[in-house]
A = this chain, B = another copy of it.
Amino acid sequence: MKYLEQMILSKGKVLPGNILKVDSFLNTQIDIELMKELGKDIYAHFKDCGVTKILTVEASGIGIACITAQFFNCNVVFAKKSRTKNMGDCGVYSADCYSFTHKNMNTLIVNNEFISPSDTVLIIDDFLANGEACKALMSIVSQAKAKLAGIAIEIEKGFQGAGDELRKQGVDLYSLAVIDKMEDGKIVFRS
């Protein structure tokens, strides 16, 4: 997805601590034309997998998940980072997930009515760095006894290794841009 790489190079910023700031087009401000291109690309990769549901996590995964779901003609479920009052006393799937960016532990929670054993789930998220969120979402798919079609990621921080580890485990992980190096503000993509 050369278009995304170009956007990252032209509009992204590298902050201290290897934080890539892409809030002008990917999260915070969401470039809808770009999302449609990314969604089409994700669909092309997973279109024969029988996807019945897209699973993401609040908040920045929701935009790309919803735009992409149109191509699959399926619904989106997003995990919340804490149990909220209006969840009532429903049963849930949950999995812990440490955020290295925010340095806190979240428990991802999904109402157990929304994923069932007959579902084939595609996980979508904006970033894959240490893989914590993806592993938590995979655990939720597994708790639901649903089938995992694979994982689609907008930007993978390849140099952190979690993506390649998932691939080794046989997960169909499809990242639209993989960054192999990020030093002194310079970004090098995996070719």
Contact = CB atoms under 8 A, between A and B. Distances in A.
Interface of A: 13, 15, 19, 21, 23-25, 28-33, 35-36, 58-59, 62-63, 65-67, 69-70, 73-78, 80, 84-88, 101-103, 110-111, 113-114
B19 A76 contact: no
A87 B13 CA distance: 11
Nearest to A87: B23
Nearest to A74: B32
Q: How many copies does the complex hold?
A: 2
A152 to B, nearest CB: 16
A21 B66 contact: no
A85 B19 contact: yes
A86 B19 contact: yes
Closest 3 A/B residue pairs (Cβ): A58-B59, A59-B59, A62-B62
A28 B75 contact: no
